[in-house]
Amino acid sequence: MTTTTEVPADLTTTDRTPAVSFDVDPAAYRHWKVDVEGDVAYVRLDIDETGGIVPGYELKMNSYDLGVDIELYDVTQRLRFEHPGVRAVVLTSAKDKNFCAGANIRMLAQSSHPWKVNFCKFTNETRNGIEDAGAHSGQTWIAALNGTAAGGGYEMALACEQILLVDDNSSAVSLPEVPLLGVLPGTGGLTRVIDKRRVRKDRADVFATRPEGSRGKQAVEWKLVDEVIPKRAWDSTVAERAATAAAGSNRPVGATGITLPPLQREEDADGIRYRHVSAVFDRDAGLVEITVHGPEGDVPDTVDRVHELGADFWPLAMTRELDDLILRLRANELELGTWIVRTKGDVEDALAFERVIEEHSGSDWLVNEIRHYFKRTLKRLDVTSRSLIALIEPGSCFAGALLELALACDRQYMLDGTLDDDGAEQGDEAQIMLSNSNFGAFPMSNGLTRLGSRFYGDDETIAKLRQETGRRISAVEAMDLGLVTDAPDDIDWSDEIRIMLEERASLSPDALTGMEANHRFVGPETMESRIFSRLTAWQNWIFVRPNASGPEGALRKYGTGRKAEFDRRRV
């Protein structure tokens, strides 16, 4: 289960963050009940009011906090990997007349700004993962609202493909954050209502400023839900809708899932070490050095062998570790503002495993899941508010899918030469390699490849790069092709990197966060990119404004019987 330590007395007045673990034991879920009935899974929210991830509030009315969503993320992952026979997922509540009241307001009121931001970011990623399961895994999520869904509760439903609402003359859907709390529906509500549900914008305006929300026929007419169902026919109709969704799925029949065992890691004040991923902290310099180790051992020669390896299959094992590391660093290491990303291993070995993924992802459910999991983990890296610097050195294996790690970074430095003194790396010069996967297998949230984002609008360069796939590219060539930021020689390498990192550390972390987020997402917007680049950005700003979080702000005054006092100036 999740663990916490070092809980400050008042999270609002400090930037310290309780240490968060993302380890979850399904047998010990505190907030969710999961029942698999043939090809349909029922996921029921049943909040333990005393189970907050930090002290100071009770999770009343099926409201949630980060701990609840950590469990939900685990549910989504296990349904995809451990239950390939599940074709439809019914998201509902174990509590009568109350689906979910959304994010716990007391939690938000007492939390520091970084805690709130990380909470919103993680919940957004989990909601996006639900949509990804429907789009790429054949698992259709259906929200069966057997009671009122308010705020984040309705946002949870909005992530589902279908929304069913019980018609009991009281249950409603609502987004009351603006009128009641002075903040936004921060986990995608505003965006999904108009982009996904196609609610007319004037009706969306009315809906988002009406605390009581909508129910019954109006909710259907306004496209806020797909169907309202009389209480007497509720259970049978929900079952019918789930059966219909399951029948239309391309999920395999009779497939056996794999087990996702607990991750093994060593953790201390100086870093975190897994089998395939490691992180070393330099707290004085404010940076962490992340190394992804390439595969070792034989490449599976059949897809059956991939299934036998299961969670030990290198692409899946590495991705699970990288995903966990990103989450832990984001939540627990706020002052490590620069991440140096390295790889170590053999280029050909990395590409050999990648070819297994490329060959079978269209025909085998497990291989397909692994590819999309790596895609989602790269997206998590894209929206991480840290300076990302890739160092490409002798012994690196930035090739194909692993090259995406470098392309996700804000800058890429590639050594032109070798390092052969003081016990440093020796041997061949650094090289990178493009593969087919760099041209569409792992799109960003804006729908573009990372090469497409790097060379936005330059189709001629993208076409040229396609011709370079499958061959080793040296530092000088990489510079000429525009694939790296700089290629210092072995004489200048150490000094150039040191100066660059010192310069980065001297800049405002706030300004860097805004700058990086603007540079990473070029070109067209999608619903997903809007949620992160526009909605979340505004929410982050609103969270630090006194109208929301100040002593007289709406988050502070909610439930006290006193009105918030707003600064009426528009800025």
Among 4-13, 29-38, 480-489, 553-562, the minimum mean pLDDT is found in 4-13
CA distances to 238, 549, 550, 553, 558 from 566, in Å? 44, 11, 10, 7, 13
Band (pLDDT 50/70/90 cuts) for residue 178 is very high
Average pLDDT over residues 297-323: 95
What digits encode the pLDDT tens for the residues 483-497? Answer: 999 999 999 999 999
pLDDT of residue 2: 34
CA distances to 47, 107, 123, 284, 500 from 30, in Å? 7, 18, 18, 38, 46
pLDDT of residue 13: 34
pLDDT of residue 15: 47
Q: Provide the sign of the torsion angle of the four alpha carbons 457, 458, 463, 469, taken in this order.
A: negative
The answer on pLDDT for 63 being more than 70 is: yes
pLDDT of residue 14: 41
Average pLDDT over residues 499-505: 96
The yes-or-no answer on residue 177 being catalytic is yes
What digits encode the pLDDT tens for the residues 426-445? Answer: 458 999 999 999 999 999 99
The answer on pLDDT for 33 being more than 90 is: yes
Average pLDDT over residues 187-209: 96
The answer on pLDDT for 8 being more than 80 is: no
DSSP 11: G
pLDDT of residue 424: 44
Token pair for 297? 């051992």
Distance CA 141, CA 128 (A): 12
Average pLDDT over residues 138-156: 97
Instruction: Report CA dihedral (104, 105, 109, 111) to the nearest 10 degrees.
Output: 10
pLDDT of residue 6: 34
Asked whether this chain's domains 27-247 and 266-517 adopt the same fold, the reply is yes
pLDDT of residue 535: 87
pLDDT of residue 561: 87
The yes-or-no answer on residue 37 being catalytic is no
Among 14-18, 118-122, 140-144, 249-253, the minimum mean pLDDT is found in 14-18
DSSP 250: -
The answer on pLDDT for 11 being more than 80 is: no
pLDDT of residue 18: 65
**CB-facing half-sphere around the CA of 467: CA atoms within 13 A:** 6
Share of the chain above pLDDT 90, in %: 85
What residues does each domain of the chain span?
27-247, 266-517
Q: Provide the sign of the torsion angle of the four alpha carbons 309, 315, 317, 323, taken in this order.
A: negative
Average pLDDT over residues 394-418: 97
Among 251-260, 355-364, 556-565, the minimum mean pLDDT is found in 556-565
Band (pLDDT 50/70/90 cuts) for residue 451 is very high
Average pLDDT over residues 34-63: 96
Q: Which CATH superfamily is domain 27-247 in?
A: 2-enoyl-CoA Hydratase; Chain A, domain 1 (3.90.226.10)
The answer on pLDDT for 249 being more than 80 is: yes
Average pLDDT over residues 190-219: 96
- Cβ neighbours for 459, distance < 8 A, ≥ 6 positions apart: none
Q: How far apart are the first and last CA of the chain?
A: 43
Band (pLDDT 50/70/90 cuts) for residue 275 is very high
Average pLDDT over residues 154-172: 96
Distance CA 314, CA 244 (A): 36
Catalytic residue among 71, 125, 131, 155: 155
Band (pLDDT 50/70/90 cuts) for residue 532 is confident
The CATH architecture annotation of domain 266-517 reads Alpha-Beta Complex (3.90)
Catalytic residue among 177, 321, 354, 393: 177
The answer on pLDDT for 76 being more than 50 is: yes
pLDDT of residue 4: 35
What DSSP string describes 312-352? GSHHHHHHHHHHHHHHHHHHH-TT--EEEEEEES-HHHHHH
3-state secondary structure 421-448: CCCCCCCCCCCEECCHHHHCCCCCCCCC
The answer on pLDDT for 116 being more than 50 is: yes
What's the mean per-residue pLDDT of the chain? Answer: 93
Distance CA 89, CA 471 (A): 44
**CB-facing half-sphere around the CA of 63: CA atoms within 13 A:** 20
